[in-house]
Structure 1
């Protein structure tokens, strides 16, 4: 499996009979190429569309279930003194993102199952401890291609998640093609369609969407795509992701007592919020006055949850504000995109999602509020420091003792690997698949035992 793809399926010679296998003829805006799969396969339930199958595969995947134990903002299983409800996890965020994306995509003419599948998939590759774990894994994987959650998502969808195996053309051995999703869904789940170090506009960016090992399937997914441009459905997914986490992180922060609504009207506090936003959530040359106007527009809404105090009435108002914000941001994008492209179906590379600057700034301010008052709390930084140690020590322990400590799936891949670089990537895959709790548990077991093993 290392660095190769099932070559027997690269030319897709049997694809001329694909229509007999899946119901896709009625798709408006999607051609045969969009619904093609890496490995052609029959449908066990004729009558479903290819995108309905894809959505079901992601929804039933173990990778999606594991997101329930992965950090979104507040670490799963922890409680603050005022926290009286379960915080959002990567799973609940993905479900909320999918609901937003499905409706926005449908309003613009996208296939709703396609967009929902992409939204459900977009965070599957994120490791334990959120972006903090991502940073630690990237440092460990520096000499084998780095680590990036979005590249890991593609790897998981196309290779790691056990669903479909096919014989390799050279060896005849069965190799995994992951969930074997359609080209259009894999493309829609790809936020950063370029390899490491190839960001089209920012040479310093650490964002990328594919490891070198996975270039064959990536190149197949991007066949016919115009350069590094993301498809329309991926843009809908990306905006839905921004909308969901910006709104819900503020909701969680208010509910947990970490955000004082009055601070949003105090000038020193506002300047700190704008400083967080500039360079991280908006361009570095953004005028703080534009962010102030964006925040004031939100504060001026009659539904804004001023004076939130945690009572039942206040919680209901907060929920209404959440709904209002999501509707506001989605309608802004829908209206501007329709104004530009008209009323037809917008799919694949036939359009760009247009999000007005005002809506982007309002969304960015909300991100900055959550960043400033939730993520930058001193206790959170102490927790993140500990999490980085856990990931680093776990990676070191697995390196020294593998295949001991690896799940059977990754143990087999480790044993098949023929070079240190490939074995190290298997260790990265293993760690990335863990939940927060299982990472801590495995770390504890491996760092308190002394076993021999074949190192990398």
Structure 2
């Protein structure tokens, strides 16, 4: 299957020339279409730069070769563009959704998110997807004419809905949000700029979502092997992975371990991409969409794994969960990281004068919920190393997170 030559733009692809526009009208760029312009705004944002020092699984100082949120994001973007090209979708929109999908992550990854969500549960909790929306619509304050990045409707829609609809047509939350409801920041923004939370997202947003799955399956295997949390021999018991390991062993009997690991991860990525293309083509052929609206109104996603590859995806996650994400070494670090975030929240809430100038401005005029959200925004934007430095500034003992 030739997947890198691409195909003509599909009739169901998002079209930057037919974008629903931006919340604040701007003159068109003479050199870039609207989706390319969105990509560039994300890349030049402060939030994007900070991803370089935010945890994926391993804290930044554990080694230079482990993924960070930034390197993960770049890998997702590469896979998303490959899928978009093969399916005739808009590569720029797929790329900007990949580039922006993790902007809302806190320092220390999901550990920081858990800490803030627990602290703010009485006020709607903390959700990294909702935080990404707040960053691009409000918290990035660099332009003279508006807060945020003033991205297109299609980019904002895909950012919020890349994992599927958030509510039904009658306004009830979908299963993903049944327990706590749709995050309040998303609902608040949606009231002034309707993102049609009841519909599917564009094919490009669906591409970004599955590219995320492919990237972290492959690179978490790579990072876990590099960290000696498991071995290539351990992978032999996992369906699909075991076949790849044996295939490499049979073909390259004297290959050194580092190259064997790379051969595993590259084959995982390639075969998952090929599966998504074949399965998505099958779903699209069955749906026969004549526009991007047909994709949004479809009963389910048109881009995704086949049933067989979805089972492989679950098996890989089932393998990684106890051996990596819940490994004693990782859990010890993450538990300490949660305490760092909780300590910082407690300190800045009690001593707002210690916030930086831009975050302290207007703090006293906020109500309690507003103050708590301001402190959470400040902490969520920190890198791992800045959070640790701030903790050391205000507390006598700071965990080493090793």
TM-score category of the 2 structures, normalised to the smaller one = 0.7 to 0.9
Pair member with larger Rg = 1
Q: Residue 128 of structure 1: SS of its match in structure 2? A: coil
Q: Residue 189 of structure 1: SS of its match in structure 2? A: helix
CA deviation after TM superposition for structure 1 residue 442, in Å: 1.1
Match of 2:208 in 1: 237
Equivalence map 1:195-210=2 (5 Å): 199-202=173-176, 205=179, 208=182, 210=183
Is residue 414 from structure 1 mapped to residue 387 from structure 2 by the alignment? no
Tell me how far apart the structure 1 counterparts of residues 247 and 61 of structure 2 sit (CA, whole Å).
30
Tell me how far apart the structure 2 counterparts of residues 27 and 347 of structure 1 sit (CA, whole Å).
4
User: Residue 14 of structure 2 contacts residue 202 of structure 2 at CA under 8 Å; is this kept in 1?
Assistant: no
**1:150–1:349 Cα change, 3 Å:** farther
Tell me how far apart the structure 1 counterparts of residues 53 and 202 of structure 2 sit (CA, whole Å).
30
Task: Provide, for residues 95-115 of structure 1, a one-character-per-residue CA deviation record: whole Å limited to 9, x for no partner.
Answer: 000110111122222211111
**1:185–1:29 Cα change, 3 Å:** closer
**1:38–1:413 Cα change, 3 Å:** farther
Counterpart among 131, 136, 157 of residue 187 in structure 1: 157
Counterpart among 327, 344, 349 of residue 394 in structure 1: 344
CA deviation after TM superposition for structure 1 residue 27, in Å: 11
**1:38–1:29 Cα change, 3 Å:** same
Tell me how far apart the structure 2 counterparts of residues 298 and 78 of structure 1 sit (CA, whole Å).
26
Q: Residue 178 of structure 1: SS of its match in structure 2? A: coil
CA deviation after TM superposition for structure 1 residue 370, in Å: 2.5
Q: Which has the higher helix share?
A: 2
**1:88–1:233 Cα change, 3 Å:** same
* Corresponding pairs, count: 373
User: Residue 126 of structure 1 contacts residue 153 of structure 1 at CA under 8 Å; is this kept in 2?
Assistant: yes
Match of 2:381 in 1: 433
Match of 1:321 in 2: 264
Higher normalized contact order (CA 8 Å, seq sep 6+, divided by chain length)? 2
Is residue 163 from structure 1 mapped to residue 178 from structure 2 by the alignment? no
Match of 2:38 in 1: 54
Match of 2:108 in 1: 129
Counterpart among 67, 70, 82 of residue 51 in structure 2: 67
Is residue 37 from structure 1 mapped to residue 22 from structure 2 by the alignment? yes
Counterpart among 117, 120, 123 of residue 144 in structure 1: 123
Tell me how far apart the structure 2 counterparts of residues 304 and 139 of structure 1 sit (CA, whole Å).
45
**1:31–1:46 Cα change, 3 Å:** closer
Bigger drift between 369-378 and 322-331 goes to 369-378
Task: Provide, for residues 234-292 of structure 1, a one-character-per-residue CA deviation record: whole Å limited to 9, x for no partner.
Answer: 21111110110011100111122221222344xxxx5xxxxxxxxxxxxxxxxxxxxxx
Tell me how far apart the structure 1 counterparts of residues 15 and 174 of structure 2 sit (CA, whole Å).
27
**1:438–1:304 Cα change, 3 Å:** farther
User: Residue 93 of structure 2 contacts residue 155 of structure 2 at CA under 8 Å; is this kept in 1?
Assistant: yes
Tell me how far apart the structure 1 counterparts of residues 344 and 327 of structure 2 sit (CA, whole Å).
26
User: Residue 232 of structure 2 contacts residue 261 of structure 2 at CA under 8 Å; is this kept in 1?
Assistant: no
Task: Provide, for residues 8-32 of structure 1, a one-character-per-residue CA deviation record: whole Å limited to 9, x for no partner.
Answer: xxxxxxxxxxxxxxxxxx9964376
Task: Provide, for residues 324-347 of structure 1, a one-character-per-residue CA deviation record: whole Å limited to 9, x for no partner.
Answer: 211211211111121232398874
RMSD, aligned CA = 3.0
Match of 2:8 in 1: none
**1:136–1:226 Cα change, 3 Å:** closer
Q: Residue 24 of structure 2: SS of its match in structure 1? A: coil
Tell me how far apart the structure 1 counterparts of residues 180 and 108 of structure 2 sit (CA, whole Å).
18
Match of 1:289 in 2: none
Tell me how far apart the structure 1 counterparts of residues 257 and 291 of structure 2 sit (CA, whole Å).
39
Task: Provide, for residues 334-380 of structure 1, a one-character-per-residue CA deviation record: whole Å limited to 9, x for no partner.
Answer: 11121232398874652621421111121222223332222222122
Is residue 215 from structure 1 mapped to residue 163 from structure 2 by the alignment? no
User: Residue 12 of structure 2 contacts residue 291 of structure 2 at CA under 8 Å; is this kept in 1?
Assistant: no
User: Residue 235 of structure 2 contacts residue 241 of structure 2 at CA under 8 Å; is this kept in 1?
Assistant: no
State TM-score, norm by structure 2: 0.83
Match of 1:379 in 2: 329
Task: Provide, for residues 79-104 of structure 1, a one-character-per-residue CA deviation record: whole Å limited to 9, x for no partner.
Answer: 5xxxxx52100110000001101111
Match of 1:366 in 2: 316
State TM-score, norm by structure 1: 0.74
**1:345–1:221 Cα change, 3 Å:** farther
CA deviation after TM superposition for structure 1 residue 419, in Å: 1.1
User: Residue 105 of structure 2 contacts residue 113 of structure 2 at CA under 8 Å; is this kept in 1?
Assistant: yes
Unaligned runs of 5+ in 1: 1-25, 80-84, 167-175, 271-294, 450-456
